Structure 1
Amino acid sequence: MSVQRQLTNERMSQIVAHNGTLYLAGQVANDLNAGIEQQIRETLGNIERLLDLAGTDTTRLLSVTIYLKDIDAHFAAMNSVWDTWLPKGVAPARATVEAKMAAPNVLIEISVIAALP
């Protein structure tokens, strides 16, 4: 089974596909000075773009891990945006945790595993 990588640099690949499964690198917002809701929407938009580039979509999500800088302050907002973004009836396995982020302005990072068609 071959491993296919896209958007690769010396450190990581944004997309890795193997044996019918797609793995996305952790995604963050484009505007790290934005508030939590905009960071969530941008992060989810980045995920959608990568899924599309790889030939799949949000209906094929298998597992999602959400990292929040402040789970007490941001969990409800994250769920509110998530619930409007995710198509009904296709909820993946999901974990949400509080984490110290790699940069101080990152409020959310999301890692995704999805099925390929």
Structure 2
Amino acid sequence: MQTIERKQTNQRMSQIVIHGNTVYLAGQVGEARHDITGQTRDALARVDDLLAQAGSSREQMLQVTIWLADMADFAAMNAVWDAWVPAGHAPARACGEAKLADPALRVEIIVCANRG
């Protein structure tokens, strides 16, 4: 049986869960005071940090789910995303619209990655 490792854990959730060589990240958001571009940059910087803590990287992403508060932000979010994803390492990805936990939030990014 493979162990499950949890990092940055509290009563409600873990920021990182590692099972075998698979890394699951909690949804990452940016600073609510920023526009969609700034929030996307913030969220992706947090993804980078968490992946590094888990022994992974953006080159090892398997699947990403992106929630936008408004699909009108799709192009602006993608401009940041496209510059951030390493060439040849795009994960499977889904993007949809959802009401986020805080009305000031514009984007939430959920990542599953390999490590090793």
Check whether TM > 0.5.
yes
- For residue 47 of structure 1, give the secondary structure of its aligned residue in structure 2: helix
Q: What's the RMSD between the two structures over aligned residues?
A: 0.5
Structure 1 residue 33: Cα displacement: 1.3
- List runs of 5+ in structure 2 lacking aligned partners: none
Alignment correspondent of 2:12: 11
- For residue 80 of structure 2, give the secondary structure of its aligned residue in structure 1: helix
Structure 1 runs of 4+ aligned residues shifted over 4 Å read none
Structure 1 residue 87: Cα displacement: 0.3
Paired amino acid for 2:91: P
Structure 1 residue 62: Cα displacement: 0.1
- For residue 26 of structure 1, give the secondary structure of its aligned residue in structure 2: coil
5 Å-filtered alignment, 1:1-117, equals: 1-29=2-30, 31-71=31-71, 73-117=72-116
C-alpha distance in 2, partners of 1:12/1:79? 28
Structure 1 residue 114: Cα displacement: 0.1
C-alpha distance in 1, partners of 2:40/2:109? 9
TM-score by length of 2: 0.98
- For residue 89 of structure 1, give the secondary structure of its aligned residue in structure 2: coil
Aligned length: 115
